[in-house]
Structure 1
């Protein structure tokens, strides 16, 4: 999951620079913001993250971000990529074989993933593998 996370924060940082913010304060801001958000996730407990999503102000900026990215298929793409990495991790497929069909497959020319598959997702897959093994 690490590589994808870094690519995500890089896009935020790059966007800020494109808007005229100097690199150093943009880096500090993005790092501090992501640390704070990650800490909220860490403190969320054992029931998942639905409550954190529901805390977003209806009609607010964060809710808009969720709505637009979900509508663009980003969340489905993220899950599909995790599935293909899981298949590869489990030895069931090579690279992108067995990738579930998503909006990307329907809008090939338009679809561009926001996050690249990488270490960020591999961490999730590794955790799933450990949790599955611990149940046996």
Structure 2
């Protein structure tokens, strides 16, 4: 179940509990007619909450293809908002560091390759 559905359900549940608490506080100072109306409404709210719970439990099935794509794109958008982008100075520093490391590793690989080729030529005598 998605977090959004879980949050909606918990908010509905909290509202229902708050409504019940307020109604209980008001019940102390109500007439019998008002009390009957409140009980009727509470029963109706409980029935509605039970239906919503049952509906939420039925939704445990896998969402459709387009819904999953939409959820994915929404998550990507949310994550992109949390990204801390580097400043121009940081970007320049990182770029120089990367280019320098590429040059260093390129030279190291070239030296190792030349060494291996020289060893093979010396061992086999193929280049004459």
Range into which the TM-score falls when normalised by the shorter chain = under 0.3
Query: Relative contact order (C-alpha < 8 Å, sep 6+): which is higher?
Result: 1
Report the TM-score when normalising by structure 2: 0.24
Report the TM-score when normalising by structure 1: 0.23
